[in-house]
Chain A
Amino acid sequence: MNNVLEARAGREGKKGDCSVHLVRTDSGGVSIEVASTAGDMFAENIRADAKRALDCLGIEHCRLAVDDAGALDYVIQARVEAAARRLWPVEGPGCLPVTRVEYGPPRRERLRRTRLYMPGNNPDLMRNGGLFGADCVILDLEDSVSPAEKDAARVLVRNTLLCVDYFGCERIVRINPLSTEYGEADLEMIVPCGVDTILIPKCESAGDVRGVEEIVSRIEKEHGIGHEVLLMPLIETARGVLGAFEVAGASERVVALCFGAEDFTADIGAERTREGTESFTARSLIVLGAKAAGIQAIDTVFSDIADEEGLVASTEEAMALGFEGKGVIHPAQIAPVHKVFTPSPERIEYAKKVVAAIEKARSEGSGVATIGSKMIDAPIEARARKILRLAEALGLLAGE
């Protein structure tokens, strides 16, 4: 029996959020008090949203106060549910909001030039996260959420997945490591609710990936989910770097290896620099591990959002090393990163020439072609076709 009598959830006075104060009572039914920055305009809506969550969780007696700063319905429900979960054990899925977005099964092959990180306990940032043109969004339950709010963020991220349209971005959730008390609970709540990909922090071995895979498979079976959720291990320790190939090949579900420089530099006892010399070898090893396993490699974030020049240099270096994308922490970083990962018209033209030459040679019964004095062989063709696939995905071949 839980002896806690009252609980709070939500961030007080933060735009787009609300804080709730829930008190257990034994009788007297449900009473809901509402205060809002929008005055009385949404008082009835807020009351109805809160009531829906309480009904859904089977709570018949309580006193609830909602202090609202412009929260949407699914946020209010998430905050009420989070507070309730701190007072009562909840059986079953909890209070799922009415789904208002459509999404298909996760797609293995896709562009992952940018993955926009958003803190999982901040509804205002997550609401508009799909508007900025990132290839992927990451709703983060790990480092950007304090231990005391892990449970509340989990409910909010679940509701966000069900209610916020990310317009075809890959919807990634970074869970907490399975070695913590949060990791498995994160998966239980997130996997059934339309997540595309799980970002697994601090991966060091195949076991780390397989542990997640087992739980994910079980949840998929239990919920009759007809598709396979994808996995994306995050390498951020010395051991992880040395185990990159093993991690990359640990599961069929793994689509990319990601690098996390902040934890890595701390792990090896170095300082993080603008140039990133301290992680050069690690990044190369991650690219090698990923490519050897036939998956994508994605570079770490560039953490100074005001330094666009540094961001571009860091992205150019990442591309030169073989990375396909980069993490971003602010929407302003998206356009510069995309620009670097977008093939120039000259490269596209050359790739077209290569493919045309090799096809012509093939039709004439030869396996080798030339452009000018340069021999065109299989790897050059493969690279050219990759550029053209990328160009097509980006709509750069339109009208042809």
Chain B
Amino acid sequence: MIRNALGRSIPEEIDGRKLRPFEGAHAGHGGGRTAGAPIRASVDYTDKLRSSLDEVLDDIALRDGMTVSFHHHLRNGDNVVNMVVDKLAERGLKDLTLAPSALFPVHEPLIRHIESGVISHVEGSMNGPVGRACSLGRMKRTCVLRSHGGRYRAIQDGDLHVDVAFIAAPAADAFGNCNGHSGPSACGVMGYALADSLYADHVVVLTDNLMPFPVHPWVIRGGHVDHVCVVDRLGDPSQIISGTTVMTRSPTRQLIGEYAARLVRDAGLLDEPGFSFQAGAGGVPLAFLNYLGGIMRAKGVTASFARGGSNAYLVRMLEEGLVGYILDGQCFDLEGVRSLRENPRHLETDPFTSYCYHTKGNFAPMVKVGILGATEIDVDFNVNVNTHSDGWLLHGIGGFTDVTDSYMTIIAAPLLRGRLPVIVDSVTTVTAPGEVIDVLVTERGIAVNPAREDILRRLEGTDLPLTSIQELRRMAAETVGEPAKPQFEERIVALIEWRDGTVIDVVRQLKQEAQG
């Protein structure tokens, strides 16, 4: 074991793979060359259309231990991951690496394929039931959690070689051009599938909406696609756009959103040219958007761009002229999808342009304010978004660590969830180091990372409820008492990768008394 820059113990090697310990948020400088897809000839691609998934699979050299990848733009409505893995299981394949950009509760049926050995482990992201299975040690090999930008980097750099990419496409033509703008399964942005289309050995587009050539804009270009296959339905439209976009009625969450918006105002960021922000779905970010919009209207100022997750509130700000552009990573509701389709100032992005660390620049550092949630934050501002305080691995990283590149990264969270304190002495799992986290906003006070003297100076003389993170920690502990700590086995079940491919922390198997 070696200790990384945060003092977390990292094995030197796992599953035969050498690991690099985390050295600092911006210590990596790239090097080496990117991976590449095999060279093909257009003469072999005159008819890509297949009438069933079986026909497609017949054409691919399937083997045990291969890596299959998926994107998650269909969210909890996705039908494709379960459908494809069922088929691969039917064909007797074993030890597959599953490489989704995220999983949802709808993917619970995968657990049976994990237990039967069809899937050896997951690289990318895990949420909910599959994360639970991972925590219990059900996977044969060690999982790897990466951010959206980190996943792009891993595929681009060759750390994650995708054998077959299955791309669910709400609108596609027979040549393989596709996007998510229309059709019964319209999901809007489809950028998470870009790396898969560029670097996989074999690229399969699945659609329930075959359109005449050319489908445009071709977010995924047909020139990268091997097969196009029509299926009955990609997913359940009511679940593709999930319910995280309703304005919260919780007064506490509204208050946190209000404090965050006032923080942005009082830091003077709205008065500087080129103001921009990122806010996704969920109660607090939506409340933040609502208050921020009100402040911007009152002051008569605008943002040059906003980074989505788009939703109805952000779209309204765009249409009102409060933001110049939406640079969108995913659509959280139908208003987001409509706006993307209709508004030339609503731009589709992918992790290469927005999040990937191994590029000649992306726009994450150009964003002034990023507002994020967390399951835990500690007194050194280290943040955990992956595990809960009880040790269960329940969430992927999403874009979290990539957003921390913004000028002011705000963690907005309540002091307590139920009786559980959000602020702890040391986070159960480190997803992001304290050096990139600038401000914690809670309903009982705002704590600025003392390393950000520039932000502290900006806030001098404001009437914000500024305090220290130690004080917030003390307040939480006094209210709830000390919870018991989770008990772990020695076995490492997942690696948490930093954006540059180094390992920032590991997740261990949960000790279960019932398991004996």
Query: Is B truly associated with A?
Result: yes
List B396-426 residues whose CB lies under 8 Å from chain A.
416-420
Give min CB distance, B195 to chain A, whole Å.
37
Interface residues of B (CB under 8 A from A): 251-252, 254-255, 389-390, 416-420, 443-444, 478-484, 486
A-B Cβ contacts below 8 A, count: 57
Please state if A331 and B251 are interface contacts (CB–CB under 8 Å).
Answer: yes
Please state if B478 and A100 are interface contacts (CB–CB under 8 Å).
Answer: yes
In the assembled complex, the Cα of A73 lies from the Cα of B419 at a distance in Å of 9
Please state if B252 and A71 are interface contacts (CB–CB under 8 Å).
Answer: no
In the assembled complex, the Cα of A42 lies from the Cα of B483 at a distance in Å of 5
Inter-chain contacts of B418 with A (CB < 8 A): 15-16, 37-38, 69-70
In the assembled complex, the Cα of A95 lies from the Cα of B443 at a distance in Å of 30
A312 CB–B CB distance under 8 Å: no
List A69-126 residues whose CB lies under 8 Å from chain B.
69-73, 100
Please state if A131 and B483 are interface contacts (CB–CB under 8 Å).
Answer: no
Partner among A38, A69, A72 whose Cβ is within 8 Å of the Cβ of B479: A72
Q: A38-B420, A41-B420 known; A128 and B252 CB under 8 Å?
A: yes
A178 CB–B CB distance under 8 Å: no
Give min CB distance, B98 to chain A, whole Å.
27
In the assembled complex, the Cα of A331 lies from the Cα of B389 at a distance in Å of 30
Partner among A42, A69, A70 whose Cβ is within 8 Å of the Cβ of B484: A42
* Among all A-B residue pairs, the 3 with the closest Cβ atoms: A70-B418, A331-B251, A41-B483
Report the nearest A residue to B258, measured CB to CB.
A335
In the assembled complex, the Cα of A37 lies from the Cα of B417 at a distance in Å of 11
Report the nearest A residue to B420, measured CB to CB.
A38
A332 CB–B CB distance under 8 Å: yes
Inter-chain contacts of B251 with A (CB < 8 A): 128, 132, 330-332
Q: A42-B483, A43-B484 known; A132 and B255 CB under 8 Å?
A: yes
Please state if A41 and B390 are interface contacts (CB–CB under 8 Å).
Answer: yes
What are 6 inter-chain pairs, A to B, with CB distance below 8 A?
Answer: A38-B390, A39-B390, A40-B390, A41-B390, A42-B481, A331-B254
In the assembled complex, the Cα of A131 lies from the Cα of B254 at a distance in Å of 11
Please state if B443 and A128 are interface contacts (CB–CB under 8 Å).
Answer: yes
Inter-chain contacts of A41 with B (CB < 8 A): 389-390, 420, 483-484, 486
Please state if B252 and A72 are interface contacts (CB–CB under 8 Å).
Answer: no
Please state if A38 and B252 are interface contacts (CB–CB under 8 Å).
Answer: no
Inter-chain contacts of A37 with B (CB < 8 A): 418
In the assembled complex, the Cα of A100 lies from the Cα of B481 at a distance in Å of 13
List A20-74 residues whose CB lies under 8 Å from chain B.
37-45, 68-73
Report the nearest A residue to B443, measured CB to CB.
A131
Interface residues of A (CB under 8 A from B): 15-16, 37-45, 68-73, 100, 128, 131-132, 330-332
Report the nearest A residue to B418, measured CB to CB.
A70
In the assembled complex, the Cα of A42 lies from the Cα of B481 at a distance in Å of 9
Give min CB distance, A121 to chain B, whole Å.
18
Inter-chain contacts of B480 with A (CB < 8 A): 42, 45, 72
In the assembled complex, the Cα of A45 lies from the Cα of B483 at a distance in Å of 8
Inter-chain contacts of A132 with B (CB < 8 A): 251, 255
Give min CB distance, B384 to chain A, whole Å.
15
Give min CB distance, B249 to chain A, whole Å.
8
Inter-chain contacts of B389 with A (CB < 8 A): 41
Inter-chain contacts of A45 with B (CB < 8 A): 419, 480-483
In the assembled complex, the Cα of A44 lies from the Cα of B444 at a distance in Å of 27
Q: A70-B417, A100-B478, A128-B443 known; A44 and B484 CB under 8 Å?
A: yes
Q: A38-B483, A331-B251 known; A70 and B419 CB under 8 Å?
A: yes
Beyond the given A42-B480, A42-B483, please list 16 additional residue pairs across the A-B interface where CB-CB is below 8 A.
A16-B418, A37-B418, A38-B419, A39-B390, A40-B484, A41-B390, A42-B484, A45-B482, A45-B483, A70-B417, A70-B420, A128-B251, A131-B444, A132-B251, A330-B251, A331-B251
Inter-chain contacts of B484 with A (CB < 8 A): 40-44
Inter-chain contacts of A70 with B (CB < 8 A): 416-420
In the assembled complex, the Cα of A309 lies from the Cα of B218 at a distance in Å of 46
In the assembled complex, the Cα of A330 lies from the Cα of B254 at a distance in Å of 11
Report the nearest A residue to B414, measured CB to CB.
A128
Inter-chain contacts of B390 with A (CB < 8 A): 38-41
In the assembled complex, the Cα of A40 lies from the Cα of B484 at a distance in Å of 7
Inter-chain contacts of A40 with B (CB < 8 A): 390, 484
In the assembled complex, the Cα of A42 lies from the Cα of B421 at a distance in Å of 11
Report the nearest B residue to A48, measured CB to CB.
B481
Task: Indicate the member of B252, B419, B443 with the most A CB atoms within 10 Å.
Answer: B419
Inter-chain contacts of B478 with A (CB < 8 A): 100
Give min CB distance, B257 to chain A, whole Å.
12
Inter-chain contacts of B443 with A (CB < 8 A): 128, 131
Report the nearest B residue to A131, measured CB to CB.
B443
Give min CB distance, A366 to chain B, whole Å.
42
Inter-chain contacts of B481 with A (CB < 8 A): 42, 45, 73
In the assembled complex, the Cα of A206 lies from the Cα of B223 at a distance in Å of 88
In the assembled complex, the Cα of A71 lies from the Cα of B478 at a distance in Å of 14
Give min CB distance, A12 to chain B, whole Å.
15
Report the nearest A residue to B484, measured CB to CB.
A41
Inter-chain contacts of B419 with A (CB < 8 A): 38, 42, 45, 68, 70-72
Q: A38-B390, A100-B478 known; A331 and B255 CB under 8 Å?
A: yes
Please state if B255 and A131 are interface contacts (CB–CB under 8 Å).
Answer: yes
In the assembled complex, the Cα of A44 lies from the Cα of B485 at a distance in Å of 12
Inter-chain contacts of B420 with A (CB < 8 A): 38, 41, 70
In the assembled complex, the Cα of A202 lies from the Cα of B17 at a distance in Å of 76
Give min CB distance, A343 to chain B, whole Å.
19
Inter-chain contacts of A330 with B (CB < 8 A): 251
Give min CB distance, A72 to chain B, whole Å.
6
In the assembled complex, the Cα of A38 lies from the Cα of B251 at a distance in Å of 23
Inter-chain contacts of A131 with B (CB < 8 A): 252, 255, 443-444
Report the nearest B residue to A129, measured CB to CB.
B251
Partner among B254, B416, B482 whose Cβ is within 8 Å of the Cβ of A332: B254
Give min CB distance, A162 to chain B, whole Å.
14
Inter-chain contacts of A43 with B (CB < 8 A): 484
Give min CB distance, B45 to chain A, whole Å.
54
Inter-chain contacts of A128 with B (CB < 8 A): 251-252, 443
Give min CB distance, A159 to chain B, whole Å.
14
In the assembled complex, the Cα of A56 lies from the Cα of B73 at a distance in Å of 56
In the assembled complex, the Cα of A124 lies from the Cα of B479 at a distance in Å of 13
Give min CB distance, B119 to chain A, whole Å.
27
In the assembled complex, the Cα of A128 lies from the Cα of B256 at a distance in Å of 12
Report the nearest B residue to A71, measured CB to CB.
B419
Report the nearest A residue to B465, measured CB to CB.
A131
Give min CB distance, B50 to chain A, whole Å.
47
Inter-chain contacts of B254 with A (CB < 8 A): 331-332
In the assembled complex, the Cα of A371 lies from the Cα of B255 at a distance in Å of 44
Report the nearest A residue to B487, measured CB to CB.
A40
Give min CB distance, B313 to chain A, whole Å.
16
In the assembled complex, the Cα of A296 lies from the Cα of B390 at a distance in Å of 52
Inter-chain contacts of A39 with B (CB < 8 A): 390
In the assembled complex, the Cα of A149 lies from the Cα of B139 at a distance in Å of 49
Inter-chain contacts of A38 with B (CB < 8 A): 390, 418-420, 483
Inter-chain contacts of A15 with B (CB < 8 A): 418
Report the nearest B residue to A75, measured CB to CB.
B419
Report the nearest A residue to B485, measured CB to CB.
A41
Inter-chain contacts of B482 with A (CB < 8 A): 45
In the assembled complex, the Cα of A346 lies from the Cα of B444 at a distance in Å of 34
